[in-house]
Copies of this chain bind each other. A is one copy, B any other.
């Protein structure tokens, strides 16, 4: 391809709308354009990267027995109702001219289960792995980071069907391998963490997370064992907290006019935040409930919900809090609080003489003590793990990192097949429910993740496997005959050898060509400049700017060797996962 024919509108200015480096670079390099909040179009170079990512994940999913299909995005409400998911918050819904409702597919468990219940009736047709690479829709409240959290995005979603749990375990491991190899081939490091299942549900699930400071997911990693979990999921457990030996002091009410936050109260009372217990009031499936946690901790809402078996958890509003406690928000406390179930984090057990709200305007209690002043209805692990917390699996310490969740795999079991009566006839003549797994890999999110971790201040640094071109030949001065001849020769010889190559023969200054080449992030740059008169070109690697002079006679072969070596590195990384897997 010649750059003069290519539509790649690069931007010199930093777009104001973009917070993240990846988002800025994808806009500046002319890879994507915004259409609406969280809705993007992919321009030629961006879509080339997307197609290369798609082809890698297609090959890897095929390799573990996946069969590619394409399901519809317009999913009838009736199907969602069968599994009680029609009210999933982020579903875009629309009514057709006949008054029938549809949800725009954010996931396809119902559709694929409907296909399978009609067409797969015998154990002899199992296991089955059906997958698609498709545009998904999500009525996201907070679109963010370009294609990282979008309202329309491209995803691979795979669904496996097995006779039993042993079959599911194998299918799940195969898809784990397909995902691990896909990430490796795309040139991104990742970690696999325990995670929240969200509205997909199921028994067990893991996320593939690309570590990046700009990621919106927080993950906790043990410094000793291989425990790793999304902060939403990360367990702390009952660490065997002993009651405090501190002598109990008399309970007192103190005036704290206008002091509502932990910081205000503790500074006013001159105590550390560890001496305060927060009383957070929620409505859980319609009933009031309070979470008690230490002043310097955050509540982990998913863990809190899960511990209480709650389907719908909402923070109580100011009116509800006034009705329940008799005071404004900021003055709630457990002492004398009636009609509200009290769930306390295990850690509270070891506290004594602590501060709480007094359930009265502008007042707190000090020297509050368990047992004497109030009793807890249930102890639970409900606080958010944080940097420095102990590992729940060993004696190690957790440290926190940020990351981008780019893949998520689930053991669903019979959740969907039971709800939708998707059964098969097993060898023993009995009707059984299909045992399912599902596996999602965000293609457009992976694009952004690569951009986030594989770039520098000058632009993108694409891994060779997903680069929009493998090589760009910069013809610095198209008027110079020696340069033109050298550039075209290398360009054509590379094309003959099967390389994906761009020739920048535009009528632009050299500086523009160098800047654009860096911005586009094509991994190998070949410069046809003054050296061309001596029958040479310069090859530079985008990643480290290392440069080498090549004679024109050997240039194409040398460059092909570099392409092969870069590809080999990525394949070797993928093959290491296959080796690990074969040893399992």
A residues within 8 Å of B by Cβ?
5-7, 9, 30, 33, 35-36, 39-44, 47-48, 50, 65, 67-76, 92-94, 96-97, 100, 102, 104, 111, 114-115, 118-120, 125, 128, 130, 134-135, 137, 139, 141, 151-152
Q: Which 3 A-B residue pairings sit nearest by Cβ, starting from the closest?
A: A9-B119, A94-B94, A42-B70
Question: CB within 8 A of A39: which of B74, B94, B115, B119?
Answer: B74
Q: How far is the CB of A108 from chain B (nearest CB, A)?
A: 9
CA distance in complex: A466, B141 (Å): 42
Residues of B within 8 A of A92 (CB): 94, 96
The answer to whether B67 and A41 touch across the interface, beta carbons within 8 angstroms, is no
24 contacts between A and B (CB under 8 A): A7-B119, A7-B125, A33-B115, A35-B74, A35-B76, A35-B114, A36-B72, A36-B74, A36-B76, A39-B76, A41-B69, A43-B69, A43-B115, A44-B67, A44-B68, A47-B69, A72-B152, A73-B73, A73-B152, A74-B151, A74-B152, A96-B139, A96-B151, A135-B135
A39 touching B139, Cβ below 8 Å: no
**Smallest distance from the beta carbon of A88 to chain B beta carbons, Å?**
12
How far, in angstroms, from A69 to B102 measured CA to CA in the complex? 27
Q: Are B73 and A44 in contact (CB-based, < 8 A)?
A: no
Q: A35-B111, A141-B97 are in contact. Are A41 and B7 (CB under 8 A)?
A: no
Q: Is the CB of A42 within 8 A of B65?
A: no
CB distance from A43 to the nearest CB of B (A): 5
Contact at A41–B115, with CB atoms within 8 Å? Answer: yes
Contacts A41-B69, A44-B69, A73-B137 known; 15 new A-B pairs at CB < 8 A: A6-B67, A9-B120, A36-B76, A39-B76, A40-B72, A41-B70, A41-B72, A41-B111, A42-B69, A44-B130, A48-B68, A73-B152, A96-B139, A104-B104, A135-B135
User: B41 and A71: CB pair below 8 A?
Assistant: yes
A125 to B141, CA, bound (A): 38
A48 vs B67: C-alpha distance when bound (angstroms)? 10
The contact of A119 among B33, B35, B102, by CB within 8 Å, is B33
Residues in B neighbouring A93, C-beta threshold 8 A: 94
A137 touches B74 (CB 8 A): yes
Interface centre among A9, A30, A69, A71 (most CB of B within 10 A): A69
Tell me the nearest residue of chain B to A6, going by C-beta.
Answer: B67
A65 to B44, CA, bound (A): 12
A47 touches B68 (CB 8 A): yes
| Bound-complex Cα distance A65 to B1 (A) | 10
- Chain B hits for A36, CB < 8 A: 72, 74, 76, 100, 102
Is there an interface contact between A72 and B35, defined as CB atoms closer than 8 Å? yes
* Shortest distance from the beta carbon of A441 to any chain B beta carbon, whole Å: 17
Cα distance A135–B74 in the bound complex, in angstroms = 11
In the bound complex, what is the Cα–Cα distance between A68 and B45 (angstroms)?
Answer: 9
Bound complex: CA A44 to CA B71 (Å) = 11
The answer to whether A70 and B50 have CB atoms under 8 Å apart is: yes
CB closest residue in chain B, given A58: B51
Distance, CA A152 to CA B120, complexed state (A) = 25
| A44→B70 CA distance, assembly (Å) | 8
Q: Hey, which chain B residues are within 8 Å of A30, CB to CB?
A: 119
